Amino acid sequence: MALRIAIIGLGVIGNVHAEVLSTLGTPAAALCDLDAEKAELVRQKFAPDAKIYTDWREMLRDFSPDVVHICTPHDLHAEMTVTALDADIHVLCEKPLCIRHEDIARILAAEERTQAKLGVCHQNRYNAVNVFLKHYLADKKILGAHGSVVWKRTKDYYASAPWRGTMAHEGGGVLINQALHTFDLMMWLCGEPREIAAINGNLTLPGEIEVEDTIAVRCFGMTDYSFFATVGAAHTFPVEMQFKLANGEHVLVLPKTVTVDGQVVETDEITRSFGKSCYGDGHIRLIDDFYRCLAQNEPFPVNGAEAAKVVRMILAAYQSKGERITL
């Protein structure tokens, strides 16, 4: 029997989920957004038979989906996730899992007491170069590593949606929004740190946003690494990760290539991106795997407990103000 799939939130990322589901041949059967016109546009493009709702609780109650994709502003993720899991509805939640320490415990408790599965969209783990890198580094010692996200976001970007740039709704700035995926990859590849120190600031949009546009982080653990992220750059540049290995190798990772000592060892020719070009095709790989895990009753690799790791790191970085914070 086909699963009844619903999407809550039909902004930029909700459109990506709707397009992916349509491409996979499993279009959403229900769409929910406070703006019914947004939902109608998505229905016309990707889900022609979907029912439209403007109240997510009503949708969960009356439509009773088997799976719900949560694509709303950050501050809504926790309540929607817990409510759906307690109704034994499978959840695929966009990043971040949540934005508050107390919500981590609430979500993980709900995940424990239900038979439903929780997955979180850390789709960059599914990109071909990162899958290759995970295997390549598995039997090698990393002496140190660095990641950087250097992008540009303007005042108009933050004005495009009322939740952007606010602590109450976004939970922070560049680290919890634009750079979360790369920060998560660094942890995934280098291991969880024991301590974090960070400094952040708003260098380009003071008075326009409440959150940081720039942050520098140092992580201390089995492998030490550093991380820098800004959306206050003069231009947007490709994301980078670098690794120095005990065998002397220098590994440089860009969105479509991995080089070792200057030689290309892996490439990813992305034939179709979903949403922004920087998203690549990770969403379709992750969503397809999520439904494979549901069908085969297998654990999904990026569950609530796994996704909570980077949230704890981000919250520690915000707390730090230059001091080391123990995780």
| pLDDT for position 258 | 97
Tell me the CA distances in angstroms from 266 to 146, 185, 186, 189, one per residue in order. Answer: 19, 17, 18, 17
| pLDDT for position 2 | 87
In angstroms, the CA 294 to CA 288 distance is 10
CB 323 within 8 A of CB 219: no
Span of 9-13, 269-273, 311-315 with lowest mean pLDDT: 269-273
Select from 1.10.287.1080, 3.30.930.10, 3.40.50.720, 3.40.30.10 the CATH code of 5-122: 3.40.50.720
Give residue-wise pLDDT tens across range 55-80: 999 999 999 999 999 999 999 999 99
259 Cβ contact partners less than 8 Å away, ≥ 6 residues apart: 251, 252, 265
pLDDT > 90 fraction of the chain, expressed in percent and rounded? 94
Secondary-structure percent of the chain, ordered helix, strand, coil, rounded to 5: 40, 25, 40
Domain limits of the chain?
5-122, 124-276+304-326
Which long-range contacts (C-beta less than 8 Å, at least 24 apart) are formed by 1-5? Answer: 2/26, 3/66, 3/67, 3/291, 3/294, 4/29, 4/30, 4/63, 4/64, 4/65, 4/66, 4/67, 5/29, 5/30, 5/65, 5/66, 5/67, 5/68, 5/69
CA 306 to chain centre: 12
Q: How confident is the model at residue 116 (pLDDT cuts 50, 70, 90)?
A: very high
Give residue-wise pLDDT tens across range 154-213: 999 999 999 999 999 999 999 999 999 999 999 999 999 999 999 999 999 999 999 999
pLDDT at 148 over 70: yes
Span of 1-5, 121-125, 165-169, 245-249 with lowest mean pLDDT: 1-5
Q: Is the fold of 5-122 the same as that of 124-276+304-326?
A: no
Select from 3.20.20.10, 3.40.50.20, 3.30.360.10, 1.10.10.10 the CATH code of 124-276+304-326: 3.30.360.10
Q: If residue 288 lies in a helix (H) or strand (E), which one and from where to where?
A: helix 282-296
Q: What is the pTM of this model?
A: 0.96
pLDDT, the chain, mean = 96
